[in-house]
Amino acid sequence: MHTALTRSRITTDHALITPESHVLLSPPGWSKSNVVYFISPQMGANFTMFLGVFEAGGEVKRNLGDNEILGYVLEGEGELQSKGKNSLQAGSFFFLPPGTNFSLTAKQQSRVLFFEKMYEPLAGVNLPAEIISHESKINKEAFLGDPGALLQTLMPMGAEFDMGVNIFEFVPGGTLPNVENHYMEHGLYVLQGQGVYRLSESWYPVQKDDAIWMAPYCLQWFVASGKQNTKYIYYKDMNRPPLV
Protein backbone atom coordinates (compact mmCIF):
# COMPACT_ATOMS: atom_id res chain seq x y z
CA MET A 1 0.00 0.00 0.00
CA HIS A 2 1.23 3.56 -0.73
CA THR A 3 2.66 4.97 2.54
CA ALA A 4 0.37 8.01 2.24
CA LEU A 5 -2.75 5.82 2.37
CA THR A 6 -4.65 4.30 5.30
CA ARG A 7 -8.11 2.85 5.98
CA SER A 8 -8.01 4.55 9.42
CA ARG A 9 -10.62 7.21 10.06
CA ILE A 10 -11.07 9.30 13.22
CA THR A 11 -14.29 11.25 13.80
CA THR A 12 -15.91 12.79 16.88
CA ASP A 13 -18.24 9.83 17.46
CA HIS A 14 -16.28 6.87 16.08
CA ALA A 15 -12.86 5.76 14.92
CA LEU A 16 -11.47 2.93 12.81
CA ILE A 17 -7.77 2.25 13.43
CA THR A 18 -6.12 -0.14 10.99
CA PRO A 19 -2.65 -1.75 11.21
CA GLU A 20 -0.87 0.51 8.68
CA SER A 21 -1.39 3.52 10.99
CA HIS A 22 -0.12 1.88 14.19
CA VAL A 23 2.53 3.77 16.15
CA LEU A 24 4.59 1.73 18.63
CA LEU A 25 5.32 3.40 21.98
CA SER A 26 7.40 2.41 25.01
CA PRO A 27 5.63 3.86 28.05
CA PRO A 28 7.11 3.67 31.58
CA GLY A 29 6.71 0.20 33.10
CA TRP A 30 7.08 -1.68 29.80
CA SER A 31 10.33 -3.47 28.87
CA LYS A 32 11.18 -5.46 25.70
CA SER A 33 7.65 -4.59 24.62
CA ASN A 34 5.71 -1.87 22.83
CA VAL A 35 2.24 -0.42 23.10
CA VAL A 36 -0.18 0.75 20.40
CA TYR A 37 -2.88 3.02 21.83
CA PHE A 38 -6.07 2.70 19.79
CA ILE A 39 -8.56 4.52 22.04
CA SER A 40 -8.01 7.11 24.78
CA PRO A 41 -9.64 10.09 26.52
CA GLN A 42 -7.62 12.29 24.12
CA MET A 43 -10.09 11.27 21.36
CA GLY A 44 -13.16 11.71 23.59
CA ALA A 45 -13.42 8.21 25.08
CA ASN A 46 -13.92 7.38 28.75
CA PHE A 47 -11.50 4.41 28.64
CA THR A 48 -8.39 3.21 26.88
CA MET A 49 -7.95 0.26 24.55
CA PHE A 50 -4.39 -0.66 23.65
CA LEU A 51 -2.26 -3.49 22.32
CA GLY A 52 0.83 -4.78 24.11
CA VAL A 53 3.38 -6.31 21.72
CA PHE A 54 5.96 -8.36 23.65
CA GLU A 55 9.27 -9.93 22.67
CA ALA A 56 10.12 -13.18 24.47
CA GLY A 57 10.98 -12.03 28.01
CA GLY A 58 9.13 -8.73 27.55
CA GLU A 59 7.29 -7.42 30.58
CA VAL A 60 4.82 -4.84 31.85
CA LYS A 61 4.82 -3.96 35.56
CA ARG A 62 2.12 -1.64 36.90
CA ASN A 63 0.18 -0.46 39.89
CA LEU A 64 -3.36 0.19 38.68
CA GLY A 65 -4.17 2.92 41.22
CA ASP A 66 -7.83 3.94 40.67
CA ASN A 67 -8.02 2.02 37.39
CA GLU A 68 -9.23 -1.45 36.50
CA ILE A 69 -7.94 -3.45 33.54
CA LEU A 70 -8.93 -6.41 31.41
CA GLY A 71 -6.26 -8.15 29.33
CA TYR A 72 -6.99 -10.72 26.58
CA VAL A 73 -4.16 -12.76 25.08
CA LEU A 74 -4.41 -12.58 21.27
CA GLU A 75 -1.35 -14.76 20.71
CA GLY A 76 1.63 -16.15 22.59
CA GLU A 77 2.10 -17.22 26.16
CA GLY A 78 2.90 -15.45 29.40
CA GLU A 79 2.85 -15.40 33.16
CA LEU A 80 0.71 -13.03 35.19
CA GLN A 81 1.79 -12.14 38.71
CA SER A 82 -0.98 -10.42 40.68
CA LYS A 83 -2.50 -11.98 43.83
CA GLY A 84 -0.82 -15.23 42.73
CA LYS A 85 0.98 -16.57 39.65
CA ASN A 86 -1.03 -17.71 36.62
CA SER A 87 0.10 -18.87 33.21
CA LEU A 88 -1.70 -17.42 30.21
CA GLN A 89 -2.18 -18.75 26.68
CA ALA A 90 -3.95 -17.39 23.59
CA GLY A 91 -7.61 -16.90 24.62
CA SER A 92 -6.77 -16.36 28.32
CA PHE A 93 -8.15 -13.21 29.89
CA PHE A 94 -7.70 -11.50 33.24
CA PHE A 95 -9.62 -8.75 35.02
CA LEU A 96 -7.73 -6.87 37.74
CA PRO A 97 -9.56 -4.45 40.08
CA PRO A 98 -8.32 -1.02 41.16
CA GLY A 99 -5.34 -1.00 43.51
CA THR A 100 -3.78 -4.13 41.97
CA ASN A 101 -0.01 -4.44 41.57
CA PHE A 102 0.72 -6.74 38.68
CA SER A 103 3.35 -7.83 36.22
CA LEU A 104 2.88 -9.72 32.97
CA THR A 105 5.89 -11.46 31.45
CA ALA A 106 5.85 -12.96 27.96
CA LYS A 107 7.37 -16.44 27.60
CA GLN A 108 7.49 -16.04 23.81
CA GLN A 109 6.52 -13.34 21.30
CA SER A 110 3.02 -12.35 22.39
CA ARG A 111 0.26 -9.83 21.73
CA VAL A 112 -2.17 -8.85 24.47
CA LEU A 113 -5.16 -6.53 24.08
CA PHE A 114 -6.04 -4.33 27.08
CA PHE A 115 -9.10 -2.34 28.14
CA GLU A 116 -8.45 0.05 31.04
CA LYS A 117 -10.62 2.65 32.76
CA MET A 118 -11.05 4.48 36.05
CA TYR A 119 -13.36 2.39 38.25
CA GLU A 120 -16.66 4.06 39.17
CA PRO A 121 -17.63 2.95 42.70
CA LEU A 122 -21.30 2.49 43.60
CA ALA A 123 -22.48 3.31 47.14
CA GLY A 124 -23.02 0.14 49.17
CA VAL A 125 -21.38 -2.12 46.58
CA ASN A 126 -18.04 -3.87 47.20
CA LEU A 127 -15.05 -3.58 44.85
CA PRO A 128 -14.98 -6.30 42.17
CA ALA A 129 -12.65 -9.28 42.61
CA GLU A 130 -9.84 -10.43 40.29
CA ILE A 131 -10.88 -12.85 37.51
CA ILE A 132 -8.46 -15.06 35.56
CA SER A 133 -9.99 -17.42 33.02
CA HIS A 134 -9.99 -18.59 29.40
CA GLU A 135 -12.52 -17.97 26.62
CA SER A 136 -12.98 -21.75 26.20
CA LYS A 137 -14.65 -21.80 29.64
CA ILE A 138 -17.36 -19.32 28.59
CA ASN A 139 -20.60 -20.53 26.96
CA LYS A 140 -21.63 -19.23 23.54
CA GLU A 141 -25.22 -17.94 23.66
CA ALA A 142 -27.43 -17.17 20.66
CA PHE A 143 -27.77 -13.35 20.72
CA LEU A 144 -31.48 -12.50 21.08
CA GLY A 145 -32.23 -16.04 19.92
CA ASP A 146 -30.16 -15.82 16.69
CA PRO A 147 -27.84 -18.85 16.31
CA GLY A 148 -25.93 -16.91 13.60
CA ALA A 149 -24.69 -14.40 16.21
CA LEU A 150 -23.09 -16.09 19.23
CA LEU A 151 -22.12 -14.06 22.30
CA GLN A 152 -19.62 -14.96 25.03
CA THR A 153 -19.88 -12.73 28.09
CA LEU A 154 -16.45 -12.81 29.72
CA MET A 155 -17.31 -10.72 32.80
CA PRO A 156 -19.95 -11.45 35.45
CA MET A 157 -23.07 -9.24 35.49
CA GLY A 158 -22.95 -8.13 39.19
CA ALA A 159 -23.35 -4.41 40.02
CA GLU A 160 -19.74 -4.28 41.30
CA PHE A 161 -18.57 -4.57 37.66
CA ASP A 162 -18.77 -1.29 35.72
CA MET A 163 -17.28 -2.71 32.51
CA GLY A 164 -18.13 -5.69 30.38
CA VAL A 165 -16.08 -7.45 27.69
CA ASN A 166 -17.73 -9.85 25.26
CA ILE A 167 -16.71 -11.92 22.25
CA PHE A 168 -19.18 -11.92 19.35
CA GLU A 169 -19.02 -14.62 16.65
CA PHE A 170 -21.02 -14.27 13.43
CA VAL A 171 -21.60 -16.80 10.67
CA PRO A 172 -21.00 -15.44 7.12
CA GLY A 173 -24.05 -13.23 6.46
CA GLY A 174 -24.80 -12.92 10.21
CA THR A 175 -25.71 -9.42 11.39
CA LEU A 176 -26.44 -7.37 14.47
CA PRO A 177 -30.24 -7.65 14.67
CA ASN A 178 -30.83 -3.89 14.46
CA VAL A 179 -29.05 -0.56 14.18
CA GLU A 180 -28.13 -0.07 17.85
CA ASN A 181 -28.39 3.28 19.57
CA HIS A 182 -27.21 3.42 23.23
CA TYR A 183 -25.42 5.64 25.74
CA MET A 184 -22.70 3.05 26.38
CA GLU A 185 -19.36 3.28 24.54
CA HIS A 186 -17.54 0.45 22.81
CA GLY A 187 -13.94 -0.43 22.05
CA LEU A 188 -13.77 -3.30 19.55
CA TYR A 189 -10.99 -5.43 18.03
CA VAL A 190 -11.58 -7.84 15.15
CA LEU A 191 -10.12 -11.26 16.05
CA GLN A 192 -10.97 -13.18 12.88
CA GLY A 193 -12.73 -12.80 9.54
CA GLN A 194 -14.21 -9.72 7.92
CA GLY A 195 -17.39 -7.75 7.40
CA VAL A 196 -18.87 -4.30 7.08
CA TYR A 197 -19.42 -2.01 10.09
CA ARG A 198 -21.93 0.80 9.98
CA LEU A 199 -20.74 3.57 12.33
CA SER A 200 -23.04 6.58 12.39
CA GLU A 201 -23.65 7.41 8.68
CA SER A 202 -20.47 5.70 7.39
CA TRP A 203 -19.96 2.10 6.26
CA TYR A 204 -16.51 0.52 6.61
CA PRO A 205 -15.08 -2.78 5.33
CA VAL A 206 -13.34 -4.24 8.40
CA GLN A 207 -11.12 -7.27 8.93
CA LYS A 208 -8.87 -9.08 11.43
CA ASP A 209 -6.70 -6.70 13.51
CA ASP A 210 -8.87 -3.63 12.88
CA ALA A 211 -9.80 -1.61 15.99
CA ILE A 212 -12.96 0.50 16.40
CA TRP A 213 -14.16 3.11 18.89
CA MET A 214 -17.87 3.89 19.17
CA ALA A 215 -18.82 6.90 21.30
CA PRO A 216 -22.11 7.03 23.21
CA TYR A 217 -25.02 7.20 20.74
CA CYS A 218 -22.92 6.21 17.73
CA LEU A 219 -25.39 4.31 15.55
CA GLN A 220 -23.92 0.86 14.91
CA TRP A 221 -24.64 -2.21 12.82
CA PHE A 222 -22.51 -5.08 11.48
CA VAL A 223 -22.70 -7.76 8.82
CA ALA A 224 -20.13 -10.56 8.57
CA SER A 225 -18.83 -11.54 5.12
CA GLY A 226 -16.13 -13.88 3.85
CA LYS A 227 -16.06 -17.66 4.06
CA GLN A 228 -15.29 -18.22 7.75
CA ASN A 229 -17.00 -17.02 10.90
CA THR A 230 -16.06 -13.51 12.01
CA LYS A 231 -15.18 -12.83 15.64
CA TYR A 232 -14.68 -9.60 17.51
CA ILE A 233 -14.01 -8.76 21.14
CA TYR A 234 -15.53 -5.60 22.55
CA TYR A 235 -15.74 -3.47 25.68
CA LYS A 236 -18.78 -1.66 27.00
CA ASP A 237 -19.46 0.32 30.17
CA MET A 238 -21.97 -1.53 32.35
CA ASN A 239 -24.20 -1.08 35.37
CA ARG A 240 -23.73 2.69 35.66
CA PRO A 241 -26.75 4.21 33.88
CA PRO A 242 -26.87 7.98 33.28
CA LEU A 243 -27.19 10.09 36.46
CA VAL A 244 -26.38 7.13 38.76
Note whether 79 binds Mn ion by CB under 5 A.
Answer: no
Closest approach, Cβ 4 to Mn ion, in A, equals 33
C-alpha distance from residue 61 to each of 31, 32, 57, 97, 169 (Å): 9, 12, 13, 15, 32
Within 142-181, the residues that bind Mn ion by CB under 5 A are: 180
Closest approach, Cβ 177 to ligand UGY, in A, equals 9
Which has the closest alpha carbon to 105: 35, 32, 26?
A: 32
Among 50, 54, 93, 168, binds ligand UGY (CB under 6 A): 168
Binding at 69: pick from ligand UGY, Mn ion, none (beta carbon under 5-8 Å per type): none
Which has the closest alpha carbon to 223: 186, 174, 177, 168?
A: 174
- Comparing CB distances to ligand UGY, the nearer of 111 and 198 is 198
Angle, CA of 86, 32 and 193, to the nearest 5°? 70
Evaluate whether 187 touches 47 at the Cβ level (below 8 Å): yes
Within 170-229, the residues that bind ligand UGY by CB under 6 A are: 176, 180, 186, 220
Q: How many residues bind ligand UGY (CB under 6 A)?
A: 7
CA distance 235 to 47: 9
Binding at 168: pick from Mn ion, ligand UGY, none (beta carbon under 5-8 Å per type): ligand UGY
Closest approach, Cβ 214 to Mn ion, in A, equals 7
Binding at 49: pick from Mn ion, ligand UGY, none (beta carbon under 5-8 Å per type): none
C-alpha distance from residue 59 to each of 87, 126, 160, 181 (Å): 14, 31, 29, 39
Binding at 105: pick from ligand UGY, Mn ion, none (beta carbon under 5-8 Å per type): none
Which has the closest alpha carbon to 162: 101, 219, 244, 80?
A: 244
Closest approach, Cβ 93 to ligand UGY, in A, equals 17
Evaluate whether 54 touches 111 at the Cβ level (below 8 Å): yes
**Helix, coil or strand: residue 43:** helix
User: CB 3: neighbour CB atoms within 10 A?
Assistant: 6
- Comparing CB distances to ligand UGY, the nearer of 119 and 143 is 143
Residues interacting with Mn ion, by CB under 5 A? 180
Residues interacting with ligand UGY, by CB under 6 A? 168, 176, 180, 186, 220, 234, 236
